[in-house]
Amino acid sequence: MLERLFQLQAHNTNVRTEVLAGVTTFLTMAYILFVNPSILGETGMDKGAVFVATCLAAAFGSAVMGMIANYPIALAPGMGLNAFFTYTVVLGMGHTWQVALGAVFLSACLFFLLSIFKIREWIINSIPLELRSAIAAGIGLFLALIALQNAGIVVANPATMVGMGDMGSPQALLAILGFFLIIGLEAMRVTGAVLISILVVTGLSILLGVSEFGGIVSMPPSLAPTFLQLDILGALDVALISVIFAFLFVDLFDNSGTLIAVAKKAGLMRKDGHLPKMGRALIADSTAALGGSLLGTSTTTSYIESAAGVSAGGRTGLTAIVVAILFLFALFFAPLAGSVPAFATAPALLFVAVLMASGMAEIDWDDITVAAPVVVTALAMPLTYSIATGIAFGFITWVAAKTLAGRARELNGMLVALAVFCAIKLALF
């Protein structure tokens, strides 16, 4: 049955290798089980319900990807997207988390339609690669600021807006230890470095009496506080149009980049650069995002950590199915997730920030019409505390720089339209 479903022999793999690859991928991305409830919980959402929603969304998304596309790519609520959900839409703009879930649902619907009608390529190609790299780097810097805040390393300062916190506090010291631990383990290529760091810092925190121990295993908490609690009508407010498109664009770029990178590593990409079943993969991804919003979590997306499973030999959707099963088993570890303090997940956020900022290396810094919009985009996100605002500044600056430099011919209609829309949105709302 497994051979018929996943064509193991055709992909030069076997069940044992696929299972090992699935376990490897799960260990590298299991940190989301602790980080996602911590971030979304700040909106007032029930952390136990968010934990269950995270497990179910990851299991559902990974299973759909494995069955529909037969790719060794796992899914879970995305880093950056969950921060945008919490710190921009809810805490920054003042919307309820129910409305934010409605915006996630609508963006997933748009993503699904774009995938069905194959408009994805046109949109992605209209956004310059450098601007896409800047968006990723900006999200990384935004996550870094949140991480430093959660660790108490960066605090508010009325004179300078931000300042250094108490570096001698147990929270700050444990967070710093956790970050150094991740770096060391990653350098030694230890599988699950982020997860290990979170558990070590949490254990030390409990032993030192800095945080409380809530247990390890229990029956899963109730999903009722978040299940089907999205407010779709509230999300149709004109002020949320840019938010919906921000969810859409970030998910679109993130997914495309992840799919291409992992598929290339797995040898699934053709010599001409074409990725077979890309449409199926994107449909699976958008379906997972729809399901996640109904369950009660931010946008579900493909994880670049899937590359770890590919390195372990994963080549088919069976790898993703194994990840899905492990996320279902994780449902019974809610007390452990509840015992993890924010400063224990801060090193994970900071590490993800390091990975996302690496795209800046691909920028042509000698071209000022490229360098200026990239820097503006990346800096605007953490400094305005809004991913959507950073994206808007990036589109506007790119179009303005190219036009004023006499290089308007390098622009396309889609990009100009987005820049005009963003300018109107910033001026009126």
Is 89:299 a contact under the CB 8 Å cutoff? no
372-390 CB burial, b ≥16 within 10 A, e <16: ebbbbbbbbbbbbbbbbbb
- Report which residue type is found at 372: A
Domain assignment present for residue 369? The answer is no
Domain assignment present for residue 287? The answer is yes
Domain assignment present for residue 408? The answer is no
pTM, two decimal places: 0.79
Domain assignment present for residue 277? The answer is yes
Domain assignment present for residue 409? The answer is no
The tally of domains found in the chain comes to: 1
Domain assignment present for residue 407? The answer is no
Q: How far is CA 34 from the centre of its chain?
A: 14
Compute, in degrees rounded to 10, the torsion defined by CA atoms 153, 157, 163, 166.
Answer: -40
Domain assignment present for residue 128? The answer is yes
User: What string of pLDDT tens digits covers the 429 residues of the chain?
Assistant: 777 777 777 777 888 888 888 888 888 888 889 889 989 999 999 999 999 999 999 999 999 999 988 888 899 998 878 888 998 889 888 899 999 999 999 998 988 888 787 776 677 667 787 887 888 788 788 888 888 988 889 888 888 888 888 898 999 999 999 999 999 998 998 877 888 888 899 999 999 998 888 888 888 889 999 999 999 988 888 778 878 888 887 777 777 767 766 776 667 666 655 667 777 888 888 899 899 999 999 889 888 778 778 877 888 888 999 999 999 999 998 888 788 888 988 888 888 888 878 778 878 899 999 999 999 999 998 888 877 788 889 989 999 999 999 999 988 888 898 888 888 877 765
Residue of 216, 215, 210 whose CA lies nearest to 174: 210
Helices (H) and strands (E) in the chain, counts: 20, 4
User: What domain range is 180 assigned to?
Assistant: 2-359
Domain assignment present for residue 229? The answer is yes
